[in-house]
Structure 1
Amino acid sequence: MSRFRIYPTPAQHAALLHHCAHARHIWNLALEQWSMWTRDKGPTPGYVEQSRQLTEARAAFGWLRAGSQTVQQQALRDFDHAIRNFHAGTHRRPTWRKAGLHEGFRIVGPPATRIVKLNRKWSQVLVPKVGWVRFRRSRAVPDAKSYRVTRDRAGRWHIAFAVIPKPIPAPGTGDVVGVDRGIAVSAALSTSDLLACPGWSKCEQERLKDLQRRLARCLRGSNRRRRVKAALAKLHARAADRRKDWVEKTSTDLARRFDVIRVEELRIASMTRRPKPKPDAQRPGSYLPNRRRAKAGLNRGILTNGWGDLVRRLEDKAPGRVEKVNPAYTSQTCSVCGHCAPENRENQTVFRCVVCGHRAHADVNAAVNIAAGRAVSARRETPVLVSPKREPQLATSA
């Protein structure tokens, strides 16, 4: 997607919100029809039948007729596509769309191609029943047949043209790189490069804590609570923009420099799942400590470092050149002799092999093992680099 920031006028802002409300209402109605299906009933109506029902609803209700038919039909088309993806097993079950959280609609057809360049920095696009809306021309506008208008929680409007960019060609040098993702170091490369994803600054952390406390004291439904939530959304949007920018630049750089990129095959959704409560058998109704606050801090560190986004963008930009390696014992295996032991990892950053004495950064050593595709198990299924009959040689002190 080629996304641009749009700047609507106050009147256009209200009209865009009406389009978002109509698209969200049609989506929820279609989801309600689909959710009411039981085994004793017939098949739920598909896109063609729902389009006929939409025509009848527009004739009966004036508020629905006042909206754009293209926006409402594309909401049905999006829901039909989501159902097909769910039955194919590639996506999860469609969920309800909420106001303030899912704000957006899609435009296809001739209006999507009506784009006028105003000057070097600005252009405008025609939105049905809204008019010409200006957007910032930060790059060349692609030739697309459809676009999607969205509004994030911070109140910013964006337009994304549905054009898939071409993948980045391989350099052809045959170089292979391993990427080890972590908390202290976002991405460690087998070339000894340590990459850090920009996170929250100290001032931003203090402001975040202050806004969260103010939000807890606000009355629900008040204007003050609405302003505090908007300030929190802007703060989170700024951090998310920095993280996305780092992911885009890092993935582009790796795709241009290396032919093969090897990463750990991690189940991030399972790793960031909250711990289950532990009922206290001696006191019914009470629970034992389950270290949920420590686990929440670990989950926050994983998500703020963009583990999943980095691999996803690498697969988009370098298709067929990203390989996933079993992460078992990659941080405890020596990249020189292949000896695997928990004692090799002295601390979070220092790796020192107890056999050959190899010393390196722990994340870089793991990245070298990933680059070599060296994933071992407790049974030592991957052959070591030295003879298995050789006795371990303790490293001598210099």
Structure 2
Amino acid sequence: MSRFRMYPTTVQQAALLLQCSHARFVWNLALEQWSMWRRDKAFTPGFAEKGRQLTEARAEFEWLRAGSQTVQQQALRDFDHAVRSFFKGTHGRPTWRKAGCHEGFRIVGPQASRVVKQNRKWAAVNVPKVGWVRFRTSRSVPHAKSYRVTRSRDGRWHIAFAVIPPPLRAPGTGGVVGVDRGITVSAALSTGELLICPRLSDRESERLKQLQRRLCRCRRGSNRQKRYKSAIAKLYTRARDRRKDWVEKTSTDIERPGQYLPNRRRAKAGLNRAILASGWGDLVKRLEDKAAGRVEKVNPAYTSQTCSVCGHRAPENRKSQAVFRCAACKHQSNADVNAAMNIAAGRAVSARRETRVPVSLKREPQLAASR
């Protein structure tokens, strides 16, 4: 997806929100119709029958007829695709779309190609029933057969063109970089680097807590509640933008040596927020996109208890969260860096306490030189 920031006018924002509400209404109506099916009843209508029902509904209700038929039909197609993906087992069950949370619609077909470049920084897209809406061209606009217009919770509009860029086939250096993902240290590299994903500052975190407390005391549906929700959404968006920027830059730096071997730690209860803030999933996804075919996932079992020098493994080797001191050879280093070196060496140990042969220390200087 190639996503760009849109800057609609006040009138255009109202028209875009109306299109979003129509798409959400059609989706939820199709979901309700599909959810009513039981084994003792006939099959629910297919896409063709739903299309005929939509035509009849547009002829009867003026508020629905005021929207774009392309947007509403595409919502039915998207729901039909979601149902097929659910039965295939590739995606979860289709869920309800809620106002304020799921604001968006998709345009497919010849209308998706109505994009003009105005100058070096700006372009415009002709959205049905809305008109020409400007968006900022931070990079070249791809030629796509469909695009999706969305509104985030903080009120920002975006347009995403359905184009998957080919992965960059970097030549690589033959080096291997091990990455140990954690909570305190987001990513520890086998080269000795400790990378921390930026988060909200202490002042911003305190501000977020205050807003959340005030939101709990607001009357539901009031303007005050909407104002606090918007302020909270802006803080969350700020944290997400920082995390995304860090993931993009870090994945590019890690991809250069050649091969990346992330660990796969199971998320513990109560750590979901910390894991999200560390950007574990985003980092792996972007690395797989940028270094296609050169990413290998290694089981991290006991890597934090195994010495990367002599291969001795014992629980007492891990002195604390940050300190590793081998009881056999007295090697001492950062615990996360030691685990990353074991991951880079592919030194996965099983539950039977089987430790692989220690890896030569010559690998690390070559790895550092390749960067």
TM-score by length of structure 2 reads 0.93
Aligned to 2:365: none
**1:172 matches 2:172:** yes
Aligned to 1:263: 262
Map 1:222-371 → 2, pairs under 5 A: 222-255=222-255, 257-268=256-267, 271=268, 273=269, 295=270, 298-371=271-344
8 Å CA contact 2:179–2:261 kept in 1: the answer is: yes
Alpha-carbon shift at residue 234 of structure 1 (Å)? 0.7
Q: SS where residue 23 of structure 2 aligns?
A: helix
Aligned to 2:191: 191
**1:96 matches 2:96:** yes
Cα distance between partner residues in 1 of 2:124 and 2:355:
59
Alpha-carbon shift at residue 382 of structure 1 (Å)? 4.0
Cα distance between partner residues in 2 of 1:72 and 1:267:
41
Q: SS where residue 296 of structure 2 aligns?
A: strand
Aligned to 2:80: 80
Cα distance between partner residues in 2 of 1:48 and 1:367:
54
Q: How many residues align?
A: 359
Aligned to 1:372: 345
8 Å CA contact 2:22–2:64 kept in 1: the answer is: yes
Matching residue's letter, 2:311: G
Q: SS where residue 250 of structure 1 aligns?
A: helix
Q: SS where residue 314 of structure 1 aligns?
A: helix
Q: Tell me the alpha carbon deviations over residues 129-157 of structure 1, each in whole angstroms, 9 at most, x when there is no partner.
A: 10000111111111111110000100100
Alpha-carbon shift at residue 299 of structure 1 (Å)? 2.8
Q: SS where residue 325 of structure 1 aligns?
A: coil
Alpha-carbon shift at residue 96 of structure 1 (Å)? 0.4
Cα distance between partner residues in 2 of 1:382 and 1:6:
55
Identity %: 74
Cα distance between partner residues in 2 of 1:33 and 1:235:
37
8 Å CA contact 2:16–2:130 kept in 1: the answer is: yes
Cα distance between partner residues in 2 of 1:354 and 1:23:
63
Alpha-carbon shift at residue 320 of structure 1 (Å)? 2.0
More off after superposition, 377-386 vs 345-354: 377-386
Alpha-carbon shift at residue 228 of structure 1 (Å)? 1.1
The 3 A distance-change label for structure 1 pair 348 and 267 is closer
More off after superposition, 246-255 vs 105-114: 246-255
Q: Tell me the alpha carbon deviations over residues 315-364 of structure 1, each in whole angstroms, 9 at most, x when there is no partner.
A: 22222221111121111111111111111111111111101111111111
Aligned to 1:276: none
8 Å CA contact 1:339–1:384 kept in 2: the answer is: no
The 3 A distance-change label for structure 1 pair 35 and 71 is same
Alpha-carbon shift at residue 51 of structure 1 (Å)? 1.6
Q: SS where residue 234 of structure 1 aligns?
A: helix
8 Å CA contact 2:115–2:125 kept in 1: the answer is: yes
Aligned to 2:159: 159
8 Å CA contact 1:261–1:322 kept in 2: the answer is: yes
Alpha-carbon shift at residue 238 of structure 1 (Å)? 0.7
Q: Tell me the alpha carbon deviations over residues 30-55 of structure 1, each in whole angstroms, 9 at most, x when there is no partner.
A: 11122112112232222222222212
Which ranges in structure 2 are unaligned for 5 or more consecutive residues? 360-371
Q: SS where residue 245 of structure 1 aligns?
A: helix
Aligned to 1:4: 4
Cα distance between partner residues in 1 of 2:7 and 2:304:
48
Aligned to 2:69: 69
Cα distance between partner residues in 1 of 2:33 and 2:287:
38
Matching residue's letter, 1:258: P
Aligned to 1:50: 50
Q: SS where residue 198 of structure 2 aligns?
A: coil
**1:106 matches 2:79:** no
Cα distance between partner residues in 1 of 2:105 and 2:351:
51
Cα distance between partner residues in 1 of 2:212 and 2:223:
16
Matching residue's letter, 1:260: Q
Cα RMSD after superposing both structures: 1.5
Aligned to 1:131: 131
**1:16 matches 2:11:** no
Alpha-carbon shift at residue 214 of structure 1 (Å)? 1.9
Alpha-carbon shift at residue 180 of structure 1 (Å)? 0.6
The 3 A distance-change label for structure 1 pair 226 and 120 is same
Matching residue's letter, 1:236: Y
